Each structure stands twice: as C-alpha cells, then as structure tokens.
Amino acid sequence: MANTRAYAATSPTSGMAPYSFDRRALRPDDVAIEIDYCGVCHSDLHTVENDWGGSQYPVVPGHEIIGRVTAVGQDVTRYQPGDLVGVGCMVDSCRTCSACDSGLEQYCIEGSTMTYGSLDRHDGTVTHGGYSEKIVVSDRFVVRVPENLDPASAAPLLCAGITTYSPLKHFKVGKGHKVGVLGMGGLGHMGVKLAKAMGAEVTIFTRSESKVAEAKKQGADHVIISTDKAQMKAAADSFDFLLDTIPVAHDLNPYLKCLKYDGTHILVGLLTPVEPALQAGLLVTKRRVVAGSLIGGMPETQEMLDFCAEHNITCDVEMLDIRNINEAYERLKKSDVKYRFVIDMDTLKQ
Ligand code: NDP
Ligand code: ZN
C-alpha cells in the first residue's frame, strides 16, 4: 500500500482522479508536513493540460500548501512538530550558485526543483505537489505561517501572493506610483491588495463587469474594462507599472500605450510567445520596458507572509471539496472563481 493519498492527472485529457504514491523517508534536512489546505493555481491547470509542453504524468499538482509539521529530520532545528508551515512553488535548488546565495532560488542557475513535475535532485523521482495528504520537503524550502493568518485563505499566498509581491518589491513600487493590474484572478486580486498596502494608486484592468464592485472592495482605486476601447484610450500614458497576470497569449500593445515614459510592463502570466508582435516603437519612443518575474525566493516568501500578517492581507477564497476538482478547473477556465479555489484536504480522506 502506498503511503500517500492524492489526486492526479494521467494524461492531458484524463481529468483528475484519486491516486496514491509513496512520499520518501525523511532525509536529515527534511520536514514532513500533513497538508490542511492547498490552493488551485492556473499553473496547475496549464500543467495538467500540458499547455507548456513537457508535463510528466501522472501529475499531482498543487504549490500553495499549508499544513502542520509532523516530523523533522535529524539536522532540522528551525521547525518542530505542530508548527504551521507553508510550501510554495519550489522544493529544492543547487544552493551554491550566485542566485541561490542571494536567496533567489527561483533563478537558480541549474534550475530550481519545482514542487511538482520536476526531477528530485537526489533520487531522480518526479516531484508531486499539494493535492495530497502529506509532503516531505527540505527545511530551506519551508516557510513559517504566522498564526494570526487564517490558514485556508493564506494558502494562495504561497504562489499568488509571492508572485505579485516579488516584482512589486523588486521595482520598488510605493507611494506616488500608479499601478495597473491586468486580469482579476488569483494573482490579480493579490496584486491589488499588495500594491495598495505598499502605498500605490491601483487600477484593475478586467474584461468582467461583474468584478468591478469587488475590485473596489478589495482596494482598487479605479477599474478599467479592458475590452472598452474608449476606456483604454483614456488611460494612455498614465501608469508607472502594469502587472500582467493574463494567462494566455494576448496583444500587449494596447497596454503598453497606457504606460508613462519609463513605465514598466511586468509579465507574470504570459509564458507562451507574445502574439501579435510587440510594436517596438511603443517601447523606443517612451523608453518603456517589458519585464518578467518568476515567483520569489525563500527569504522573500517569508518576508511576504510576515508583511501579509502585519497588514492583515489574505486571499478571497472559495473552499473546494477535492472530489469536485474537475468542475473547479472548468470554472477556472471561464475566470469564474472569486478569486481562488482552496482545497480542504480533509475531503481527500473522506
Ligand atoms: P486565474 O485564471 O485565476 O486569473 C487570470 C485572470 O486573467 C482571469 O481571472 C481573467 O481576469 C484574466 N483572463 C483570463 N483569460 C483571459 C483572456 N483570454 N484575455 C484576457 N484576460 C484573461 O489565473 P492565476 O491568477 O492563477 O494565474 C495567472 C497566470 O500567472 C497563469 O498563466 C499562471 O500560470 C501564471 N503564474 C505565473 C507565475 C510566475 O511565477 N510568473 C506563478 C503563478 C502563476 P478578468 O476576468 O478580470 O479579465
Ligand atoms: Zn501558482
């Protein structure tokens, strides 16, 4: 009998179904965690359906993990059984390159080991993520979850939170900046809350009229309906930063026009080629920049959780019974979730 119950996809079209496998025995620096909650990120769906190519089946997705420590390896001093902890998108890296040395493990020169669908650096097995009852992770890739955060609604901070926090911090977003967030989904709604807490004036760009009132409730100062040409035109030359969470290929040019000179368009959602092509003139004539950003490093992930605890920030979540994960994916495809599904892992054990 395998020691861990989970849900997995066995092909791009299989859908998700119960699956079991063995988690490894503790290595000296390992932490064993019983998972209470796991967020459902759009990356899970991209990987399950092999949108980016290279998915390794079976895929056990999930990289927004919160749970309690159940055991620690002999060298672990930072955590002990009972601690509330989180695991995000990475579970290992080379730990010696300049990026790892700087706490930017996501940019590890050898490539970091992702929480699911990567090869474990020590035993070569494929990593499995948080749609499972437990996980075993090296302590460097475990963060402490402040006890004043509600664990279910804090789970998505481990990916949606850090992916939006990291570029906002890197580009020193703060008071006096106008920030636009493109797409109001899991990442987008966190981008609004975090940019607001950092002091920026925030505008959400959405296709969905139905999200306008909620965007304002979450702190957005303004809302632009991105499909309304007049509204887009009126926004020309007005933003310092755009944080783009749109998960599919889309035309960047109308958004670039909304940046001031020296403005920066930060891609976090778009992992596929840009289509149609960028109009270079829009960059050259205003010294505009197109940038990208990948999750965040481990020290920064802890900093983000502490920042959220201090500012009382969590995600807006819809609790999910894991048996309904296939329906949840269909709704995610339609941008019909407000704003993150979080799996209650008790439902895996029923
Ligand atoms: P969601 O599906 O929750 O949100 C994406 C939002 O984008 C939707 O709610 C919708 O907002 C908008 N959108 C969706 N489809 C379209 C479309 N065809 N045209 C225009 N807008 C659209 O996804 P997540 O927030 O979970 O993830 C967003 C992207 O970020 C994914 O591609 C994911 O893989 C990626 N990602 C990147 C990371 C990184 O490190 N860079 C880390 C984690 C995720 P609205 O209804 O308001 O228009
Ligand atoms: Zn994610």
Q: How confident is the model at residue 275 (pLDDT cuts 50, 70, 90)?
A: confident
Residues 118, 237: one domain? no
CATH number at residue 270: 3.40.50.720
Residues 14, 136: one domain? yes
| The pLDDT of residue 1 | 79
179/274: higher pLDDT: 179
Residues 125, 172: one domain? no
Q: How confident is the model at residue 273 (pLDDT cuts 50, 70, 90)?
A: confident
Q: How confident is the model at residue 276 (pLDDT cuts 50, 70, 90)?
A: confident
Residues 155, 8: one domain? yes
Task: Pick the residue whose CA is nearest to atom 46 on ligand 1.
Answer: 208
Residues 170, 243: one domain? yes
Task: Report CA(163)–ligand 2 centroid distance (Å).
Answer: 8
Residues 276, 172: one domain? yes
As for the ipTM of the complex, it is 0.99
Q: Please report whether residue 305 resides in a domain.
A: no
Residue count of the chain, please give it: 350
Q: Please report whether residue 307 resides in a domain.
A: no
| The pLDDT of residue 125 | 96
Residues 54, 155: one domain? yes
Q: Please report whether residue 298 resides in a domain.
A: no
| The pLDDT of residue 14 | 98
In sequence order, what are the beta bridge partners of 320? 343
Report residue 179 as tokens.
């920030």
Give the closest ligand to the alpha carbon of residue 158: 2
Residues 119, 199: one domain? no
Q: Please report whether residue 302 resides in a domain.
A: no
The amino acid sitting at 226 is S
> To test the ligand 1 pocket, which listed residue (43, 50, 204) has its Cβ within 8 A of the most ligand atoms?
43
Predicted confidence (pLDDT) at residue 270 exceeds the cutoff of 80: no
Ligand 1: does its nearest atom lie under 6 Å from the Cβ of 186? yes
| For the CA of 337, the nearest atom of ligand 1 | 3
- The proportion of the chain whose per-residue pLDDT surpasses 90, expressed as a percent, equals 97
- Structural domain boundaries enclosing 262: 161-292
CATH number at residue 125: 3.90.180.10
Residues 45, 105: one domain? yes
Q: Please report whether residue 247 resides in a domain.
A: yes
| For the CA of 294, the nearest atom of ligand 1 | 40
Residues 262, 176: one domain? yes
Q: Please report whether residue 308 resides in a domain.
A: no
Which ranges in the chain belong to alpha helices (H)?
A: 42-48, 98-101, 151-154, 160-170, 186-197, 212-217, 229-234, 253-256, 280-284, 298-311, 325-333
Q: How confident is the model at residue 271 (pLDDT cuts 50, 70, 90)?
A: confident
Residues 168, 268: one domain? yes
Please tell me the total count of domains within the chain: 2
In the predicted model, what is the mean pLDDT of the chain?
Answer: 97
Q: Please report whether residue 244 resides in a domain.
A: yes
Measure CA 32 to chain center: 22
Residues 257, 339: one domain? no
DSSP E strand boundaries for 73-185: 84-87, 90-92, 113-114, 134-138, 143-144, 178-182
| The pLDDT of residue 140 | 98
Segment 295-313, tens digit of pLDDT: 999 999 999 999 999 999 9
| The pLDDT of residue 77 | 98
Q: Please report whether residue 300 resides in a domain.
A: no
Mean pLDDT of 227-240: 97
